[in-house]
Amino acid sequence: GPEMGGTHVQLKGRNFFPFKEILDEIDNANDTFCAFLDLKVRVPAVVTNSTRATCISPPSYYWHQSRVELTLNGVEYTDDDRIFYYYKPPLLFDVQPREGPVRGGTKVTVSGTNFQDTGQIRCSFGGSTVPGTFISTT
């Protein structure tokens, strides 16, 4: 997610509590957290069922990744952490050409910084999303 935080992080696993039968007995607001270990930050988490929990990533302008664990009681944490990766948001400098026919098909070059070669680059034009191609870091 972006370094400014705010990404909805979904944790998947097994035996997350509360199960439906005890949902009302668990204090999600005060006991359930995602711990971003490398940032030394805990953020509230919500367990939605026995295999899923969600939390919102905190900002991280220094670390590029953090191990994440879950606690359901505020004390004991999961045995195995997972890595959450941060990135600098892309900044656009220019788009060429700036116009094209309504039917589409025009090759467009987008210039900017902080682009990542993820293999999943997409461009959106008026609600239509199309695959993009990463050309260069410079």
pLDDT band at 28, cuts 50/70/90?
Answer: low
Residue 47 burial by Cβ neighbours in a 10 Å radius (0-12, 13-18, 19+): buried
pLDDT-above-90 percentage for the chain: 49
- Over range 124-133, report the average pLDDT: 90
- Provide the residue type at 113 as one letter: T
Domains of the chain: 8-85 (2.60.40), 91-131 (no CATH)
Residue 59 corresponds to which tokens in the numbers above? 């900002």
> What is the C-alpha to C-alpha distance for residues 77 and 43, in angstroms, rounded to an integer?
13
* In the block, residue with structure tokens 């050409």: 97
According to DSSP, the β-strands at 128-131 and 82-85 are unpaired
**What is the reported pTM?**
0.72
17 has pLDDT over 70: no
pLDDT band at 31, cuts 50/70/90?
Answer: confident
Residue 83 corresponds to which tokens in the numbers above? 């890595």
- Supply the mean pLDDT for the chain: 87
